Amino acid sequence: MEVILISLFIAALMPLLAKAPLAYAMFKEGRYDNRNPREQQDRLSGFGARAKAAHYNCFEALALYTPGALAVVAVNAATDLMQYYAIAFVFARLCYLFMYWFDIDKLRSLFWIVGCVISFLMLWHAMSVAAQM
């Protein structure tokens, strides 16, 4: 169960991790516009635009992963397989970020699919265990 909670903690930190390259791209424009950061982000292109999209996608992935991870913990269904899934989710999401930043679109999509499938499998497993209670 600890592995799943740690993976959830890491997933919650990923938007912050993904913000660093976005902030770098914003600084590279000359300065970080703290008064209107969203407007500045909307003007970014190339790496900066990809960093912005990767940053926002981390929030989306967190919203998808959290229910499954918490459900597994809540129904005490943290099997070895679920822990491997949790590790695989974190790995897939980190790879996803790097693929986005370096513009490797096909692999990026593959890692996105892996993260989504893992999220749904964990929720499905938790619901299956809960139905047997």
What domains sit in the chain, N to C, each tagged with a CATH number?
2-131 (1.20.120)
Q: What is the pTM of this model?
A: 0.94
State whether the Cα torsion 2-60-97-52 is positive or negative.
negative
The whole-number pLDDT of residue 29 equals 86
Q: How confident is the model at residue 133 (pLDDT cuts 50, 70, 90)?
A: confident
Rounded-to-integer distance, Cα 21 and Cα 24, Å: 5
